[in-house]
Structure 1
Amino acid sequence: MIIVSAFNDGFTALRANPILLVAGLLVGAGSQLQYVDHLIEQPLLSAGVSLAWLIVFPFVIGGFLGTARVAIDGTDASLTHFFTAARTHYLRLLLASMLFVLLVFGTAIGLGVIGFVLGIGAMAIAPINEMAAFVAGIISLLIWLVSILVVMMFVQFYDTAIVIENKSVTAAFQRSIRLVRSNLRSVAGFSLAWVALMNVFFIPEYLLQLMLTDAGPDDVLPIDLGIPLVVLLPIGIVLTTVGFTYFHTVYTAYYMRLIAASPAAPEPT
């Protein structure tokens, strides 16, 4: 089964090429930059650092995917290959990442407007049947959420299409859509398993987010964790590093197996 094989490929590649953890560490540390202001109490500096990270991330992910590819192929990965792949694909990944965000937010806003109109309709029937109005509101919310997730699923492979197959920005999105449409059941199963398992490694980060809410950790959680911020932060970095490294290597392996089993997509004219 292609999904199980991809997870095995990721483990084999990571065990043979621990250099992948270096790229994972960059992401693990970078993902924690959003909490800098809670440590140094300088929101403007924190915002600048976070913005810089958003610009740097396509460079890191491009280098990582390129390095993961050679590791999966059985070639010795290296930092030299990491920086070569990062420089080669950076501009396209930056533009594609911006387009990805626009697609997701555009879908969310567009469906949100539709949901708002439906919500007004649900409020209109509330005096007649409150339960029907409540159910209509829940269904509208679920449709909004599922639709966004479907859009993300169909275009999720834009970055691997750029790095692995050297696609242009538009061709990368087209390639992702074709692959998902041709392998819908497999991609849906992989996406669910991948997201669920990867989020296990992000639990410390989610706990950190809860601790930093205005409500306070004691109001959000039924128990007092008793874990200081300076302790939870490095734990989050370590687990995010391991989680990102392994699961994005699996992600790369899955894409490579997917394109090997699918016909090559013609380049747009």
Structure 2
Amino acid sequence: MVTVSAFKDGLTALRANPILLVVGLLVGAGSQLQYVDRLIESPLLSAGASLAWLVVFPFVLGGFIGTARAAIDGTDASLTHFFTTARTHYLRLLLATVLFVLLFLGTAIALGVITFILGIGTMAIAAINEMAAFVASVGSLLLWLVSILVVIMFVQFYDTAIVIENESVTDAFRRSIGLVRSNLKSVTGFSLVWVGLLNVFYIPEYLLEWTMTDTGPAEILPIDLGLPIAVLLPVGIAFSAVGFAYFYTVYTAYYMRLIAISPAAEST
């Protein structure tokens, strides 16, 4: 099974190449920049740090995917290889990431308009049957969410297509769509398992986010964990580092196995 094999590949590569954890640590620290303003009380500096991270992230991601590929293949998984791969693919990854975000926002807005129109219809239903109106509202919301997730699933491999197969920006999205369409059952199962397990490693970060909001984790969870920001921040970085390093190595391994059983002609 491709999914199980990819998870095994990721674990093997991570054990043999600690450099992947070093890059994961960089990602884990970078992901915490959104909380800078809460620590130094400077929203402007926080916004600048977050924006800088968004620009730098495609560089780190490209370098990581290239290094993970080398680790899986048993070749040169080094910092030199990381920076070389990152520089080579940075511009295309940056443009593709912007396109991905625009695609996500465009889909969310377009589907949101449709959901809004359907919501107007539920108001008429409410005058007849409140339960039917409630079911229709929940159904339209779920349809909106599932539709967005489906779009993301089909284009998710744009980054690996660029780094591993050296595709152009537009061809990377076509390649991703072609691979998912041809392996829909496998990709759906992998995506659900991958996202679910990855989010387990981001629980400390979610707790940190709740701690820094007016709501707080005690109002969401049945117990108050009583963990200060000084504890949650480094724990969040550590868990994010391990989670990113392992699961994006798995992600890379899965893509490599996927293209091994799929003809390259599917990218057109």
Larger mean CA deviation between 120-129 and 247-256 belongs to: 120-129
Spell out the pairing of 1:3-14 with structure 2 (5 A cutoff). Answer: 3-14=3-14
Spell out the pairing of 1:72-83 with structure 2 (5 A cutoff). Answer: 72-83=72-83
Partner of 2:178: 178
Mapped partners of 2:246, 2:65: distance in 1: 12
Mapped partners of 1:221, 1:240: distance in 2: 21
- Cα deviation for residue 214 of structure 1 reads 1.4
Mapped partners of 1:256, 1:70: distance in 2: 11
Q: Indicate conservation of the 8 Å contact 1:17/1:76, yes or no.
A: no
1:244 is aligned to 2:244: yes
Q: 1:259 to 1:179 in 2, by over 3 A?
A: same
1:91 is aligned to 2:87: no
- Cα deviation for residue 267 of structure 1 reads 6.4
Query: What is the aligned residue count?
Result: 268
**SS in structure 1 at match of 2:224:** coil
Mapped partners of 1:138, 1:217: distance in 2: 26
Q: Indicate conservation of the 8 Å contact 2:172/2:267, yes or no.
A: no
The C-alpha deviation readout for 1:212-243, integer Å capped at 9, x for no partner, is: 11123333332221111011100000010000
Gaps of 5+ in 2: none
Partner of 2:42: 42
Mapped partners of 1:217, 1:9: distance in 2: 36
Q: Percent identity?
A: 78
- Cα deviation for residue 63 of structure 1 reads 0.3
Q: Indicate conservation of the 8 Å contact 1:28/1:237, yes or no.
A: yes
Q: Indicate conservation of the 8 Å contact 2:58/2:94, yes or no.
A: yes
Mapped partners of 1:7, 1:132: distance in 2: 43
Q: Indicate conservation of the 8 Å contact 2:157/2:176, yes or no.
A: yes
Partner of 1:104: 104
Q: Indicate conservation of the 8 Å contact 2:176/2:267, yes or no.
A: no
1:113 is aligned to 2:131: no
Partner of 1:265: 265
Q: Indicate conservation of the 8 Å contact 2:33/2:46, yes or no.
A: yes
Please give the TM-score of this superposition, normalised by the length of structure 2: 0.98
Mapped partners of 1:4, 1:165: distance in 2: 23
Gaps of 5+ in 1: none
- Cα deviation for residue 125 of structure 1 reads 1.4
Mapped partners of 2:184, 2:164: distance in 1: 20
Structure 2 residue identity aligned to 1:116:
F
Larger mean CA deviation between 258-267 and 128-137 belongs to: 258-267
**SS in structure 2 at match of 1:75:** coil
Larger mean CA deviation between 77-86 and 216-225 belongs to: 216-225
**SS in structure 1 at match of 2:76:** coil
- Cα deviation for residue 266 of structure 1 reads 6.2
The C-alpha deviation readout for 1:15-37, integer Å capped at 9, x for no partner, is: 11111111111110000110111
Structure 2 residue identity aligned to 1:179:
L
Mapped partners of 2:36, 2:148: distance in 1: 30
Partner of 1:127: 127
Larger mean CA deviation between 50-59 and 15-24 belongs to: 15-24
Structure 1 residue identity aligned to 2:165:
E
Please give the TM-score of this superposition, normalised by the length of structure 1: 0.98
**SS in structure 2 at match of 1:265:** helix
1:208 is aligned to 2:201: no
The C-alpha deviation readout for 1:187-220, integer Å capped at 9, x for no partner, is: 0000000001111111100111111111233333
Mapped partners of 1:76, 1:85: distance in 2: 12
Spell out the pairing of 1:50-61 with structure 2 (5 A cutoff). Answer: 50-61=50-61
- Cα deviation for residue 69 of structure 1 reads 0.5
Mapped partners of 2:197, 2:221: distance in 1: 22
Q: Indicate conservation of the 8 Å contact 2:95/2:169, yes or no.
A: yes
The C-alpha deviation readout for 1:77-118, integer Å capped at 9, x for no partner, is: 100000000000000000000000111111100000000000
Partner of 2:71: 71
Q: Indicate conservation of the 8 Å contact 2:218/2:224, yes or no.
A: yes
1:163 is aligned to 2:163: yes
